[in-house]
Chain A
């Protein structure tokens, strides 16, 4: 459906300056020059694909390059086989202007035109079509009303757009984006302007709509929970590059780097050396003891690695658990009650390990506890 290849975009206006500095800096580490550096991915029809990363990672620039609002320096963007943008190298330069791409987009601020009514906002994309492709008046009314009905906004059609509540504005922005039935829907942090409660309910709403309408969507967010709960695939970005691409569960359970593990959820990191390997089973020697874990990475013994342990993978008990493989002994330092969970920080040797327990498990600071870490829930991450 959507294919992005080798997309490159340098920072605006800094190309000249940066380039000269790069020459001066000689053989040292190249300074960060790119807003987007060599980003490639493919999105299948009907997918909800998420670009996830901290602010400044280039996710918005990538999205805006797909929309045609930014001009990349090089790369190819094609939707459904039509090349929308191509530049760099020997290829013929193509750059379809944003208003000819026929995509739908929901902006972070919703960008609802305050001088138009709800109806007029949604009708706008149909009304500005070139004369030959423009639907008739009656068809415009029908289509707008149909979309407004889907979004449960029909009763507000004549209302001034600025008079809507936050959630309604969000649905209006979505209605406007899908009224032309775009082949691709772009969503730029569409939920970040809402309060936490509303955000949660709209998240499910968005997922339902996307699935019902079957629109291929690109979703940009810095919120890992949004990304995990909504997406069919996620591309985690950092400093202009895609660092990991995959299904939400795979990324959460097997982060490919410390950055991903840290950015998506929280994690404990333990440095160590692989002592032995048998099939998927690795044994890692850390400063405070051995850990057995299963990983498809197949690291050769002797390699230095980092073990990533999710807090919820650590089970605490005051009795030594029988038959468990990785059991360490430690001392509870702090405890925090979160409502649906209890966080503990446990000191083991020189390490502090965070453990998240069910609300009925609670150990007072000072208690000696046993940490049980199942080999299947630990993952290996390369040393940075």
Chain B
């Protein structure tokens, strides 16, 4: 088009006096603050996402002699490999199935029926999300171990010794499934809420029974969400470390993650064999994510979201209402109250024993007193706080700007940035830990063995969550709000700070809280990166578990859960203040 313009009449000469914006030529090459900010953010994201993976591959395939497959040979070149892959898939699919059934049922009951105790019910369904995985697993050991498990203790008179054994693939599936079910619950709640109830009502009006409606209308409509949930849960369980390490290692049931950990514990650690296993796990995880994205895209034409806000009329359960109520209270007792109570109970004992008159009488706060005088425990709590607060703050600050690049700017390559920020999601924590140790063992900067390497790991792992939270809230802000600030004379930075940031705040705080919670429970990458004297809470609990210090560990666990509850409550209170005032 530009070639056509010279034939047009020349425009009037620009005004004679130089306007303030008429910057001299040399000044144009000095980057503006906006350019600098965006550039730094993009570079940091790219660095965090790419460098660890690059070194992982490099460290796996190259040794002193050059390119090699020897790591792969050592990792996969034995007959155990079949049981490894078999166990991994069995565990992952089983846990996904458990979480799917529980999560979907709870979500349907909560959103679509007049089930009793809705508020309690909602809380109960998502509380396991706040309890750190390692504590939840240990609590289930205290409940379901064949030797000391309380459930076995109480069932013994009726069914005989050791009815349930948590140290089995079934036990692993059960504990992991319970831990994942809140995520399925949240996914399915969103899906059921967005479903137009008139679709179901019209099926009812055409004479279908409740059950038929559920099978023929509800489930097919929710299928995209279900498929997505299955795949996400399979990948999450494949990447899970706590459950396989605590429950599987006892009886030699290895999955990828526990195997990597096992290989690295040998002396000297076989880094390239661990790398080979990590790459295998990475490939499986990527395949899962790719399929789930593909399934998500294919289901676009299934979307029932109309954008209209409607309040689905709850379905009446009738005579089943009390039954549902009892089931829900039972579920709540079994999956939330029992694990927390058993931790609390254990934390008050000198030696672990099943509850009896004697043990109840000898309860004491000695373990808590001991904690207060243990330097390790104080350091760990401090470290966890530092890491949680700083990684949440750093990630959300960077991602707020990255979200602007991805959603609002027209900068070329903004989609690449989005992809890079998504990348760490497919990297299991253990693999990230291994990859980062590949990087910083070689790095001349003395980061390895400090808290800083944990911070890098946390920031990298939680990039994707930060990105999702900020992109979603950025998309909800109308473009015109930003444009009108620009037209009214605000610079980019002023617009960002005074218009976008306040409007983004609720979303940013939600993301901040989420990252804070998950960083407290982080174990799988920390376990490869921490150094003695620099433990975080989850590591300290892991160490105490290995030493068999159940009572002290439980006290520490109670402190950890309380800390989390306080932090989250305070954050919500503060968040409500800075958020949009509704009245």
Q: A73-B2, A109-B480, A115-B580 are in contact. Are A128 and B494 (CB under 8 A)?
A: yes
- Which residues of the other chain, B, contact A81 by a CB distance below 8 angstroms? 15
Chain B residue at smallest Cβ distance from A76: B11
B78 within 8 A of A: no
Measured between alpha carbons, how far is A86 from B478 in the docked complex, in Å?
Answer: 29
Are B14 and A104 interface neighbours, CB within 8 A? no
A82 within 8 A of B: yes
Interface string of A63-85 (1 = CB under 8 A from B): 00001110001101010011100
Closest beta carbon of chain A to B24's beta carbon, Å: 13
- Which residues of the other chain, B, contact A82 by a CB distance below 8 angstroms? 14-15, 19
Measured between alpha carbons, how far is A105 from B488 in the docked complex, in Å?
Answer: 8
CB-CB contacts below 8 Å: B467-501 with A: 478, 480-481, 483-492, 494-495, 498-499
Measured between alpha carbons, how far is A370 from B5 in the docked complex, in Å?
Answer: 55
B39 within 8 A of A: no
Measured between alpha carbons, how far is A75 from B15 in the docked complex, in Å?
Answer: 16
CB-CB contacts below 8 Å: A114-167 with B: 114-115, 124-125, 128-129, 160, 163
Are B487 and A105 interface neighbours, CB within 8 A? yes
Closest beta carbon of chain B to A162's beta carbon, Å: 8
- Which residues of the other chain, A, contact B492 by a CB distance below 8 angstroms? 99
Measured between alpha carbons, how far is A110 from B480 in the docked complex, in Å?
Answer: 8
Are A100 and B20 interface neighbours, CB within 8 A? yes
With an 8 Å Cβ cutoff, the count of chain B residues facing the other chain is 37
Measured between alpha carbons, how far is A125 from B484 in the docked complex, in Å?
Answer: 9
Closest beta carbon of chain B to A158's beta carbon, Å: 12
B21 within 8 A of A: yes
Q: Give the residue of A3, A92, A108 whose beta carbon is less than 8 angstroms from that of B480.
A: A108
Are B478 and A99 interface neighbours, CB within 8 A? no
Are B2 and A88 interface neighbours, CB within 8 A? yes
CB-CB contacts below 8 Å: B10-32 with A: 10-12, 14-15, 19-22
A180 within 8 A of B: yes
Are B14 and A125 interface neighbours, CB within 8 A? no
Are A73 and B483 interface neighbours, CB within 8 A? no
Q: A6-B5, A125-B488 are in contact. Are A83 and B481 (CB under 8 A)?
A: no
Measured between alpha carbons, how far is A100 from B583 in the docked complex, in Å?
Answer: 34
Are B2 and A113 interface neighbours, CB within 8 A? no
B444 within 8 A of A: no
A328 within 8 A of B: no
- Which residues of the other chain, B, contact A99 by a CB distance below 8 angstroms? 485-492, 495
Q: Give the residue of B5, B22, B487, B494 whose beta carbon is less than 8 angstroms from that of A67.
A: B487
Closest beta carbon of chain A to B478's beta carbon, Å: 6
Closest beta carbon of chain B to A356's beta carbon, Å: 38
Interface string of B503-527 (1 = CB under 8 A from A): 1000000000000000000000000
Chain B residue at smallest Cβ distance from A163: B583
Interface string of B554-583 (1 = CB under 8 A from A): 000000000000000000000000001101
- Which residues of the other chain, A, contact B14 by a CB distance below 8 angstroms? 78, 82-83, 86, 92, 94
How many Cβ-Cβ contacts under 8 Å join chain A to chain B?
A: 126
Closest beta carbon of chain B to A122's beta carbon, Å: 10
Are B489 and A100 interface neighbours, CB within 8 A? yes
Are B11 and A102 interface neighbours, CB within 8 A? no
Counting contact residues on chain A (CB < 8 A from B), the size range is 35 or more
B357 within 8 A of A: no
Are A74 and B1 interface neighbours, CB within 8 A? yes
Closest beta carbon of chain B to A114's beta carbon, Å: 6
B207 within 8 A of A: no
Are B19 and A96 interface neighbours, CB within 8 A? yes
Are A114 and B487 interface neighbours, CB within 8 A? no
B77 within 8 A of A: no
B6 within 8 A of A: yes
B8 within 8 A of A: yes
Q: Give the residue of A69, A109, A112 whose beta carbon is less than 8 angstroms from that of B486.
A: A69
- Which residues of the other chain, A, contact B355 by a CB distance below 8 angstroms? none
Interface string of A201-214 (1 = CB under 8 A from B): 00000000000000
- Which residues of the other chain, A, contact B478 by a CB distance below 8 angstroms? 109, 111
A238 within 8 A of B: no
Closest beta carbon of chain B to A1's beta carbon, Å: 14
Q: A89-B6, A115-B503 are in contact. Are A125 and B489 (CB under 8 A)?
A: yes
Interface string of A333-364 (1 = CB under 8 A from B): 00000000000000000000000000000000
Question: Which of A92, A102, A107 has the most CB atoms of chain B within a 10 A radius of its CB?
Answer: A107
Measured between alpha carbons, how far is A79 from B545 in the docked complex, in Å?
Answer: 75
Measured between alpha carbons, how far is A362 from B516 in the docked complex, in Å?
Answer: 76
Closest beta carbon of chain B to A325's beta carbon, Å: 45
A222 within 8 A of B: no
- Which residues of the other chain, B, contact A86 by a CB distance below 8 angstroms? 11, 14
Are B1 and A10 interface neighbours, CB within 8 A? yes
B252 within 8 A of A: no
Interface string of B44-77 (1 = CB under 8 A from A): 0000000000000000000000000000000000
- Which residues of the other chain, A, contact B580 by a CB distance below 8 angstroms? 114-115
Q: A6-B8, A78-B12, A100-B21 are in contact. Are A89 and B491 (CB under 8 A)?
A: no
A232 within 8 A of B: no
Question: Which of B2, B8, B487 has the most CB atoms of chain A within a 10 A radius of its CB?
Answer: B487
- Which residues of the other chain, A, contact B86 by a CB distance below 8 angstroms? none
Are A98 and B480 interface neighbours, CB within 8 A? no
Q: A73-B1, A97-B21, A180-B489 are in contact. Are A107 and B8 (CB under 8 A)?
A: no
Chain A residue at smallest Cβ distance from B7: A89
B446 within 8 A of A: no
B502 within 8 A of A: yes
- Which residues of the other chain, A, contact B480 by a CB distance below 8 angstroms? 107-111
Question: Which of B14, B484, B581 has the most CB atoms of chain A within a 10 A radius of its CB?
Answer: B484
- Which residues of the other chain, B, contact A68 by a CB distance below 8 angstroms? 486-487
A316 within 8 A of B: no
Are B489 and A74 interface neighbours, CB within 8 A? no
Measured between alpha carbons, how far is A5 from B422 in the docked complex, in Å?
Answer: 45
Are B21 and A111 interface neighbours, CB within 8 A? no
Are A111 and B481 interface neighbours, CB within 8 A? yes
Q: A8-B1, A74-B2, A113-B499 are in contact. Are A102 and B481 (CB under 8 A)?
A: no
Measured between alpha carbons, how far is A5 from B11 in the docked complex, in Å?
Answer: 8
Chain B residue at smallest Cβ distance from A9: B1
- Which residues of the other chain, A, contact B10 by a CB distance below 8 angstroms? 89-91
A176 within 8 A of B: yes
Closest beta carbon of chain B to A220's beta carbon, Å: 13
- Which residues of the other chain, A, contact B490 by a CB distance below 8 angstroms? 99, 124-125, 128
- Which residues of the other chain, B, contact A112 by a CB distance below 8 angstroms? 481
> What are 15 A-to-B residue pairs whose CB atoms are below 8 Å?
A6-B8, A86-B14, A89-B10, A97-B21, A98-B486, A99-B485, A99-B488, A100-B20, A102-B489, A103-B487, A107-B484, A111-B478, A111-B480, A113-B484, A124-B490
Q: Which 8 pairs of residues, A with B, have the shortest CB-CB distance?
A: A111-B480, A125-B488, A89-B5, A111-B484, A128-B490, A88-B5, A76-B11, A83-B14
Interface residues of B (CB under 8 A from A): 1-2, 5-6, 8, 10-12, 14-15, 19-22, 410, 478, 480-481, 483-492, 494-495, 498-499, 502-503, 580-581, 583
What 6 additional pairs, Cβ within 8 angstroms, besides A78-B14, A99-B489, A113-B484?
A99-B488, A99-B490, A107-B483, A113-B485, A124-B488, A180-B489
Interface residues of A (CB under 8 A from B): 3, 5-6, 8, 10, 12, 67-69, 73-74, 76, 78, 81-83, 86, 88-92, 94, 96-105, 107-115, 124-125, 128-129, 160, 163, 176-177, 180, 186
